[in-house]
Amino acid sequence: MSGVLAVAPGLHIPRAELTVRASRAGGAGGQHVNTSSTRIELVWNVRDSAVLGASQRELLMARLAPRLDGEGCLRVVSSSRRSQLQNRDAAERRLAELVRRALAVPKRRVATRPSRAAVERRLAAKRRRAETKRRRGARGEE
């Protein structure tokens, strides 16, 4: 393990900024689960991080707001694996993915117009439908 967690090109979180806590996981695993602290809780303070620029911090604070606590900490928990190391790797991957997705700028939608032929087809279909309905009503009035 290196000293940084690679999140995106140009963004690497120093592992010194991550707080890792291990505790006993619940669920399946038999007696093993009662004696080992394999559940990993990974906490990263977005508000006080030194690696984020002002715009990145603002974007993360806005997009991850439901997941942040009062101090601006992002918390990720992993307890699906049976080893502490695997859970730590899974939690780090999940944290990196969350941050990557929150920083992604969606593509701008390019406005398009229907072709003239498509407009003509739509209008012709409307005229046919209207004519069908008009003929239907005329029969009953005779």
What are the pLDDT digits (tens) for 70-107?
888 999 998 888 788 889 999 999 999 999 998 888 89
**Residue 141's pLDDT is what?**
56
Report yes or no on 51 lying in a domain: yes
Residue segments in the chain with a per-residue pLDDT below the cut of 50: none
Cβ atoms of 37 and 84 within 8 Å: the answer is: yes
CA gap 82, 90 in Å, rounded: 12
CATH number of domain containing 68: 3.30.160.20
User: Are residues 94 and 73 part of one domain?
Assistant: yes
**Residue that the structure tokens 């699906």 belong to:** 80
Helix (H, G, I), strand (E, B) or coil at 93: helix
**Residue 129's pLDDT is what?**
96
**Residue 111's pLDDT is what?**
93
Report yes or no on 108 lying in a domain: no
Report yes or no on 135 lying in a domain: yes
pTM reported for the whole predicted model: 0.68
**Residue 84's pLDDT is what?**
85
* Number of structural domains the chain divides into: 2
Report yes or no on 127 lying in a domain: yes
Range of the domain at 132: 113-142
Question: What's the token pair of residue 60?
Answer: 């993360």
Backbone angles phi, psi at 13, to 5 degrees: -90, 125
